[in-house]
């Protein structure tokens, strides 16, 4: 077994986070930046050791893909802060066509899920890639037949849910495991807790810019540094067309054309490349994009304005984002059921 990444609790959590019942309530949870609160656990899927252990096995098992070559961990890699290192991940048979794989660190705090918000909660997100033809390409009914043929999984589902393998059980188990992948103890967190030496002078200056001149908190707000809303930066817009229409595909609302969910910035220095299409290779390149005010297009978010940052200010912003990297989350890859 090779070492991967794990953490079971949040250090220094300050407040209980209430799971919103509707997408529109998501951003109201985060009114100011601060330490991560306890992970919200839905009453319909309480955490248990058996469920988390089952979810961990499913997460690392390539048998959840049609040709047994891709697992959740293939695109959300523990050795890459639970993201991927390529602009767009490859699915079965090296298929491409999806979006950049974001980190699952702190994914349990997000409502809704995915770049376009097509799944409300983590349980819906957990099984989406399994059936997606350009990702794992295994219809869920076929997955359940496959799992029922593996005695170890039959026993694990019985222990976790008291049932044989089911689609609902797969979703709940993977979601339960992913809710344990939580970042903590970043230099920024330590700074907020009173250790004023935890961040470099450049990072402190960057924090002031982040909250001020660069107006980053207009979108990257709260303890996970995301308002959980959808914004159009103009990414992929060329010759009057959008390479990806984003949130519009879900809502069919013209105001959502080319808009994508604000990603978390925790561990962001560890998860290049950036944006939904992986088109920006470095944080420096992302800052340059924002400094230009994004890419002009008919639906550009009004919050996207030229920033007129100096070279040092751009560098300081990057240093602050590096200070959002917490302790690595270490897990031991499980022995898979037979």
Active-site residue numbers? 135
CA–CA separation, 338 vs 147, rounded Å? 10
**Mind giving me the DSSP string for 227-284?**
---EE---TTEETTEES--BTHHHH--GGGTTBEEPPP-TTGGGS-SBSTT--B-SHH
CA–CA separation, 29 vs 332, rounded Å? 33
CA–CA separation, 186 vs 64, rounded Å? 34
Main-chain phi, psi angles of 4, to 5 degrees: -130, -150
Q: Which two tokens stand for residue 176?
A: 């339960």
Q: Which two tokens stand for residue 200?
A: 């470099």
CA–CA separation, 72 vs 76, rounded Å? 6
CA–CA separation, 337 vs 202, rounded Å? 49
Give the CA distances from residue 186 to residues 178, 223, 268, in Å, rounded to whole numbers and listed in that order.
20, 12, 12
Q: ∠272-278-279 over CA atoms, to 5°?
A: 110
DSSP code of residue 44? T
In this structure, are residues 222 and 29 in contact, taking their beta carbons and an 8 Å threshold? yes
Give the CA distances from residue 313 to residues 166, 210, 249, 274, 276, in Å, rounded to whole numbers and listed in that order.
52, 10, 37, 20, 25
- The β-bridge partners of 238 are 241
């Amino acid at each position: 077994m090779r070492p991967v990444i794990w953490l079971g609790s949040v250090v220094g959590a300050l407040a209980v986070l209430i799971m919103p019942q509707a997408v529109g309530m998501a951003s109201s949870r985060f009114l100011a930046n601060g330490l991560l609160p306890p992970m919200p656990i839905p009453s319909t899927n309480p955490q248990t050791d058996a469920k988390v252990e089952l979810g961990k096995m499913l997460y690392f098992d390539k048998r959840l893909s049609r040709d047994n070559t891709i697992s959740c961990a293939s695109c959300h890699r523990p050795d890459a802060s639970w993201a991927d290192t390529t602009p767009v991940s490859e699915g079965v048979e090296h298929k491409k066509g999806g979006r950049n794989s974001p980190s699952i660190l702190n994914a349990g705090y997000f409502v809704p899920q995915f770049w376009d918000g097509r799944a409300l909660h983590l349980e819906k997100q957990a099984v989406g890639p399994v059936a997606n033809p350009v990702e794992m390409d295994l219809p869920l009914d076929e997955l359940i037949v496959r799992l029922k043929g593996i005695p170890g999984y039959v026993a694990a589902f019985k222990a976790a849910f008291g049932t044989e393998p089911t689609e609902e059980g797969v979703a709940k188990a993977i979601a339960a495991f992913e809710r344990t992948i939580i970042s903590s103890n970043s230099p920024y967190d330590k700074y907020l807790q009173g250790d004023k030496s935890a961040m470099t002078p450049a990072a402190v200056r960057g924090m002031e810019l982040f909250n001020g001149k660069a107006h980053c908190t207009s979108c990257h707000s709260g303890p996970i540094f995301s308002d959980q809303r959808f914004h159009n930066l103009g990414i992929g817009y060329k010759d009057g067309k959008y390479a990806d229409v984003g949130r519009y595909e879900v809502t069919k609302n013209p105001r959502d054309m080319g808009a994508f969910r604000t990603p978390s910035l925790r561990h962001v220095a560890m998860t290049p490349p950036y944006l939904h299409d992986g088109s920006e290779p470095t944080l420096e390149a992302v800052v340059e994009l924002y400094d230009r005010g994004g890419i002009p297009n008919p639906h550009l978010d009004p919050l996207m304005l030229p920033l007129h940052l100096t070279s040092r200010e751009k560098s300081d912003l990057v240093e602050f984002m590096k200070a959002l990297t917490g302790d690595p989350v270490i897990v031991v890859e499980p022995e898979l059921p037979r």
